[in-house]
Chain A
Amino acid sequence: MGASPLPSSVERLIEALSRLPGVGPRTAERLAFHLLRTPIVDAKALAGAITTMRDTTRPCVECGHVADQERCWICRDEGRDAGLLCVVEEALDLVAIERTGAYRGRYHVLNGTLSPMAGIGPGQLRMRELFERVAAATAAGTPIREVIIATNPSPEGDVTLLYLQERLGDSVAAVTSMARGLPFGADLQYADAVTILRSLEERRGVE
């Protein structure tokens, strides 16, 4: 290996950037050079934003959402329906559901899905916390009525759903999953054949 043509500080940044998801070595180089030429205040602001974010946030002890206190703002909100729990893979999925403004229950963030190839089993996800939460609510006389499992429709998301469904089945009155099919507001004629096929298979009775 010959010596790098770049100072080691630049190499280090390129290496750090290339470890980010979706960033390859070429993109990392471009980003590093962009930061090299950008006004120093902007570069320092970026570095500061990363540090501040990490220093001031932690996972909510209850639901696992990103919080700036021990419990996140949703878990502290007394107006939320404590009998309704929505299980999501990532905090970003929670953000997407919150954006609707329609959901008034609480959440549980798993931090991923079951994936043996990635070495992720139930123990690597926040599943024990989920079962404990459900049991604690029942013990306190305020049982959770419904758990909505909102994992993604990937094989891993679906398997996580099946697993949770089996584990939660006896302790919760209702375990539900998100509906799948035609995108809302889209015309049938623009949907691809697979979507229409699956929607037909999962059709339901009209009240």
Chain B
Amino acid sequence: MGVTTSTSSCRCAPPPERTATPGPPAVIHQIQLHNIRSWTHGTVALGSGPQLLWGANGAGKTTLLEACIIAATGRSHRASALREVVARGADAARLTVTVGDEEVADPLAQSTLAVEIPAHGRTQTLLNGTPRRPAALMERIKVAVFVPEETGLVVGAPAVRRALIDRVATQWHPGYEQSLTRYERALKQRNRLLKDALEADGATRRTLALEMRPWTEMLVATGAEIVEGRLALLMALDAPLAEAHREVAPSEGTIAMRYTSRENYDPSAPREKIATMLTQAFADTAETEGYQGHTLVGPHRDDATFFVGGNNLAATASRGQQRSLLLALLFAEIALLTDRAGRPPILLLDDAFSELDPSRRDRLVERLKHLPQTLITATSPDDLAPNLVAAATAIEIINTDEGSEAKR
């Protein structure tokens, strides 16, 4: 039966190293925004090295980074549904990110990644003007990200940690985004069914239970793919994270990131085993979810915990330790998303420098010197280290009556 992959004979685990694609081109040459948040229509041309996007709050700087994240992952880090980015009153938003080799302006070495987001209806992704599935775009661009939404990573809600894991896993493992999208869709549908059952009489409830079964099967199949992908990602992150953390915080003790869930999966559990455990978990909670009216188990409830020197960071972390972790994770993300040809991802730093103290800021500046391109947002160049500003291309983002625009 060809619906799900949980029963398939081939275990195509996430790639042990990196995706086998030719590798993402090194830099973004241009970002075009149309009817996205404060941008009515705008084009921002970018060069290599640090690109400083500066301007007042609300000018639309973060939206530029958001556009890159959407092109690279199919999701926004600050909208639960993509249609939220569509400017008020507009039929549809469109973003276009042109990526290519670092030095040459050869149009054949460039790819145009476009995402069209209608206010109602289905998002469309286009590669060089041709409709392709989101995965085809994601092969062309990789981003490592530091956003203020994630500064509460250690002590904040589990959703923040899941979002980070999902963002990296999506870029690391080709099938992950599809599994996640299917899972989320099936979860919403199943929750609606549970809610309907809560309000239904006995007879209707029995027919709904029959209808529930295939949705549960779908959640088990796609959920097992997600958990397998996350476990594999955490395993792959282990060494680069420890190495980066030793570099950032040599005195703090060894870091570890562990997947935590009700099912308590073995870190090397194969997909079949995960699916069996999930099936059991659904059986165990069937009665309780019946009263509560929503799905109680699955990867949407899972979490990750950080340990430093064996201590759970969530309970003990100081501000300094949290910053070390954020920076180490960012460096590990860069290492993990660097392709086989040695090309690192594009680094996106949203208001990162105000979150870090001087010594960690210096480390970050040092690191991004070795990257082909970094997009940095700040309210003013004065907020940044002078040596960084000197090396950066400054682009002012202003919000006019006509919407946001960029000035070099």
Contacts and interface: CB of A to CB of B under 8 A. Distances in A.
Nearest to B177: A194
A89 B91 CA distance: 28
Given A24-B119, A194-B135, A194-B178, A155 B185 contact: yes
Interface string A188-199: 000011110110
Given A117-B188, A200-B12, A194 B174 contact: yes
**Interface size of B as a range:** 35 or more
Contacts of A25: 91
Nearest to A123: B207
Nearest to A151: B3
A162 B1 CA distance: 9
Contact of A201 (B12, B21, B177, B217): B12
Contact of A162 (B119, B139, B218): B218
Interface stretch (B189-197, B315-323, B331-339, B369-377): B189-197
B214 A162 contact: yes
B79 interface: no
B136 A192 contact: yes
A179 B2 contact: yes
Interface string B93-110: 000000000000000000
A155 B182 contact: yes
B163 interface: no
A162 B3 contact: yes
Contacts of B5: 198, 201-202
B377 to A, nearest CB: 31
Interface in B103-154: 118-121, 132-133, 135-136, 139
Contact of B91 (A24, A165, A166, A177): A24
Given A155-B185, A159-B215, A166-B213, A202 B1 contact: no
Contacts of A116: 189-190, 192-193, 196, 211, 215
A11 interface: no
B91 A27 contact: yes
A183 to B, nearest CB: 11
Residue from A26, A115, A178, A193 whose CB has the most chain B CB atoms within 10 Å: A193
B155 interface: no
A161 B213 CA distance: 12
A141 interface: no
B139 A193 contact: yes
A160 to B, nearest CB: 8
B217 A162 contact: yes
B15 to A, nearest CB: 9
A51 B390 CA distance: 70
B186 interface: yes
Given A194-B135, A202-B2, A155 B92 contact: no
A131 interface: no
9 contacts: A22-B118, A25-B91, A27-B91, A116-B215, A158-B214, A159-B215, A192-B136, A193-B20, A195-B133
Interface of A: 21-22, 24-27, 114-117, 121-122, 154-156, 158-163, 165-166, 177-180, 192-195, 197-198, 200-203
